[in-house]
Amino acid sequence: MENRKSTMEHVGQGVHGSLTEFWRGKKVFITGHTGFKGSWLSLWLSQKGASVTGYSLTPPTDPSLFNLANVESHIKSSIFGDIRDFAKLNAVITDAQPDIVIHMAAQPLVRESYKSPLETYQVNVLGTANLLEAVRNTSTVRAVVNVTTDKCYQNNEWEWGYRENEPLGGHDPYSSSKACSELVTAAYRNSFFPKVRYHEHGVAIASARAGNVIGGGDWASERLIPDIIRSMLKRERVLIRNPYSIRPWQHVLEPLGGYILLSQLLYEHGVKYADAWNFGPNDQDAKPVQWIVERISDKWGFGSDCYDIDLNSTHPHEATYLKLDCSKSKQHLQWHPKWGLDTALDKIVEWTRAYESGETMSKVCFDQIMEYESV
């Protein structure tokens, strides 16, 4: 494992002190570590000196960030397993004896949820219950972060951002399943880890809701940035579905930094932070799909006339407008976005150019993490 030091010690300094010193030697259990966000998180925590155990299905795409960055070589243990398999999950967590659990295993795609609704609910709802039940059986765990999504809110297409106390809902199976995951989390917190003093219950549980996460190494199907990158690499025009849909775009390191910070605060202060938290971009970074495509194309050197609108096929319902109000995280966690959308797109192009050139992708990831931390 490469020996690299984090410089993120100034973030939220008034609340919790040094992130670097805190994570050194901590045992962290990450579900979904082979996915896009899970791979970045595994690399980041390993860089901080944490002992990371990952539990997930095999990488969901080929290529994958997990394989390209050789994530397995940077963490303590990588175990392939299904979040729906409670017996195996329980045994693995019991063996790992983690201090902190970050739950990211999910069926993460809206359009896939229309094709496989039962699997989506089984993974996203029952999987969450399995994870929290296994936590109940593991005495070492002191903090749990369940990562859901901004789509867990009942979306009324408002022009203002959703706050953590807004009604949950979801038009499609994916969004609905994530709202259900939030309800499961709240039920376990209230039933088995009540909001009393930290030392009396032992586990502090929170949920984290992020916007549309983008970054180098995302190869998912039917997702905007990966679709653009695949087209750019092939020197082909991009086919887009909903050019005027507005989303809260943010680089993957933004919410991951929030999850890392929240995990530490849960560990150190218990139920004070056991709640739901939004981690989204600033308002000016909520942009339409068309803007994103044209901006990346310009940065790649293709010019803005680079896409076609798909008018020939039918598409399931997708929200036109959605954004988060992150005032709570900014005020109480002292978390703030650090890379604006334009910088995020620069980093995606930089990462993809490095991939195209055959560079060592773990080094590229670590370098971007260090650059992010230094802001």
Average confidence score pLDDT of the chain: 89
Residue 9: pLDDT band with limits 50, 70, 90: very low
Collapse the DSSP code of 118 into the 3-class scheme (helix H, G, I; strand E, B; otherwise coil) and give the result: helix
Per-residue pLDDT of 141-177, as tens digits, reads: 999 999 999 999 998 877 788 999 999 998 899 999 9
Per-residue pLDDT of 323-374, as tens digits, reads: 899 999 999 999 999 999 999 999 999 999 999 999 999 999 999 999 999 9
The Cα–Cα gap between 29 and 132 comes to 12
E runs forming strands in the chain: 27-31, 51-56, 77-80, 100-103, 143-147, 204-210, 212-214, 238-240, 246-251, 276-279, 286-288, 307-309
The Cα–Cα gap between 119 and 106 comes to 10
How many percent of the chain have pLDDT more than 90? 72
CA distances from 300 to 185, 223, 295, 304 (A): 42, 19, 9, 10
The Cα–Cα gap between 331 and 351 comes to 32
Collapse the DSSP code of 102 into the 3-class scheme (helix H, G, I; strand E, B; otherwise coil) and give the result: strand
247, two tokens: 């989303």
Q: Which fold has domain 22-374?
A: Rossmann fold (3.40.50)
The Cα–Cα gap between 368 and 373 comes to 9
Nearest CA-CA partner of 16 in 143, 186, 185, 150: 143
295, two tokens: 């901006």
Mean pLDDT across the stretch 255-278?
95
The widest CA-to-CA distance across the chain, in whole angstroms, is: 61
Quick one: pLDDT at residue 125? 98
Asked which of 72-76, 108-112, 195-199, 279-283 is least confident by mean pLDDT, the reply is 195-199
Q: Is the pLDDT of residue 70 over 60?
A: yes
Q: Is the pLDDT of residue 200 over 80?
A: no
Collapse the DSSP code of 136 into the 3-class scheme (helix H, G, I; strand E, B; otherwise coil) and give the result: helix
Q: Which residue in the block uniquely carries the two structure tokens 């967590």?
A: 93
Angle between helices 289-300 and 341-356 (to 10 degrees): 50
pTM of the model: 0.91
Quick one: pLDDT at residue 13? 38
How many percent of the chain have pLDDT more than 70? 90
Quick one: pLDDT at residue 311? 62
Residue spans of the domains in the chain: they are 22-374
